[in-house]
């Protein structure tokens, strides 16, 4: 690979990073929102370095009449550009959630004072799957008032449940899609909308079956399921 080609690839790679970060927001399919500024900065640096290299090589070619060649492995720089431009991988879905089902995300730690009681109101309470799961575990451990009969509204995508039924799922990432693990809530009282369909589910806490004080699968009695487009921020 010639050095001008290497520099052109640097510019293309930097431009791709800037495009998915600043223009389309697709970077949220791969990393947490906090990486926006570092990604944009890295993309800008690559564009500047590639542009400076192209200018330097043009001057050198004019003076000496030939181009220097670099290692062929540098063509690998083209892979991310092609991936973004042609096959832009989507956010993780039911396939990844099922494969990582053996290591679901632990519920987030509750506030120091515990979750407050959830009053019954006319409008449902919007909450993350993480908060709902945390409240469900506290409700099972002697504090049913943290969920009670209040109506909640959760957002996620559908994944099939072994043995029948389905989960409302949301992938959780600490850094990037590579460390993603699922938050899952069993949905009762509504048919599955189909794997990977994003939905908003309104319902109430499904208490553990009679005689079972605790379950490891928090559940929701669905009253309404609405299909929605994939949110701009697919991860919790």
- Domain locations along the chain: 3-89, 95-227
Instruction: Indicate whether 85 pLDDT > 70.
Output: no
The pLDDT, as a whole number, for residue 234 is 94
pLDDT tens per residue across span 184-233: 999 999 999 999 999 999 999 998 876 566 677 899 999 999 999 999 89
The residue with greater pLDDT, 6 or 123, is 123
Question: How many CB atoms within 10 Å of residue 12?
Answer: 20
Measured CA to CA, the distance from residue 140 to residue 143 in angstroms comes to 7
The pLDDT, as a whole number, for residue 61 is 63
Instruction: Indicate whether 70 pLDDT > 60.
Output: no
pLDDT tens per residue across span 48-62: 998 898 888 777 666
Which string of b and e fits 61-79 if b means at least 16 CB within 10 Å? eeeeeeeeeeeeebeebbe
The pLDDT, as a whole number, for residue 150 is 95
Residue for token digits 């909640």? 152
DSSP alpha helix (H) spans, 69-188: 78-82, 94-99, 129-140
Question: Domain 95-227 class?
Answer: mainly beta
1: which residues sit within 8 A by CB, 6+ positions away?
69, 70, 71, 72, 74, 75
138: which residues sit within 8 A by CB, 6+ positions away?
110, 114, 115, 146
How far apart, in Å, are the Cα atoms of 106 and each of 160, 184, 224?
20, 10, 27
The pLDDT, as a whole number, for residue 80 is 66
């Amino acid at each position: 690979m010639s050095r001008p080609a290497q520099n052109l690839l640097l510019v293309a790679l930097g431009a791709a990073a800037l495009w998915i970060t600043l223009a389309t927001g697709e970077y949220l399919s791969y990393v947490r929102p906090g990486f926006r500024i570092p990604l944009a900065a890295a993309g800008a640096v690559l564009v500047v370095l590639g542009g400076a290299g192209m200018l330097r090589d043009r001057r050198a070619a004019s003076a000496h009449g030939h181009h220097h060649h670099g290692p062929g492995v540098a063509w690998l720089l083209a892979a991310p550009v092609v991936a973004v431009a042609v096959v832009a991988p989507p956010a993780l879905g039911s396939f990844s959630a099922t494969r990582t089902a053996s290591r679901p995300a632990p519920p987030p730690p509750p506030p120091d004072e515990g979750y407050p009681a959830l009053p019954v109101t006319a409008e449902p309470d919007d909450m993350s799957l993480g908060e709902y799961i945390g409240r469900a575990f506290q409700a099972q451990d002697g504090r049913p008032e943290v969920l009670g009969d209040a109506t909640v509204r959760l957002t996620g995508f559908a994944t099939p449940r072994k043995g029948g039924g389905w989960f409302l799922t949301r992938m959780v990432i600490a850094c990037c899609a590579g460390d993603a693990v699922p938050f899952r809530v069993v949905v009762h009282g509504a048919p599955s909308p189909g794997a990977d369909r994003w939905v908003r589910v309104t319902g109430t806490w499904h208490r553990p079956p009679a005689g079972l004080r605790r379950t490891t699968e928090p559940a929701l009695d669905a009253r309404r399921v609405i299909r929605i487009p994939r949110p701009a921020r697919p991860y919790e």
